[in-house]
Amino acid sequence: MKIKKLIIGIVGLGLLLGLLGINLSAQNRQNYSMDKTLCAHYVKLSREMVDGDNLPLAKLYAQKAVQANPWEKAAWANYNDVIQKLADNGDIEDFDTFIEESTAAKAPKAAAGAQFEGC
């Protein structure tokens, strides 16, 4: 009998905490509003800047599009395109991701025919 009451109490507490958690996450979602129109506008401006070869400004607009709606695939695709074009032109100095040759030479190399999951 005591075990049955203990199990019911634990299940009840779990349900109560679960409902409280759902309520809190719903409140957090209301605090962040996505602006799909603003996102689309920034994507359009970014593409116009890419067409005009103004890649730094295109990158800025692409970042603003992602910030306006981080769940928009078109915004991320546009941002990826702009970064790729910057990389193709060699204009990626602001990323601070340079690796010294000595560090790269020490990195382990993949065995011939090696397969990596996700690659």
Give the integer Cα–Cα distance in Å for 64 and 82: 13
**47 part of a folded domain:** yes
CA–CA separation, 83 and 94 (whole Å): 11
As a whole number, mean pLDDT of residues 8-19 equals 72
Q: Give the pLDDT score at 102.
A: 46
Whether 41 maps to a domain, the answer reads yes
Q: What is the mean pLDDT of the chain?
A: 74
Span 79-106, average pLDDT: 68
Q: Does a structural domain hold residue 3?
A: no
d(CA 48, CA 65): 14
- Mean pLDDT calculated for residue range 108-112: 49
Q: Say if 102 falls within a structural domain.
A: no
CA distance 20 to 11: 14
Residue 5 covered by a domain: no
Residue 53 lies in a domain: yes
Q: What is the mean pLDDT of residues 96-102?
A: 46
Q: Which residues contact 59 (CB under 8 A, 6 or more apart)?
A: 46, 79, 82, 83, 86
Q: How many domains does the chain contain in total?
A: 1
Residue at 115 is within a domain: no
Q: Tell me what pLDDT residue 24 has.
A: 52
Residue 12 included in any domain = no
Name the 3-class secondary structure at 63: helix
- Which domain covers residue 48, as residue numbers? 36-93
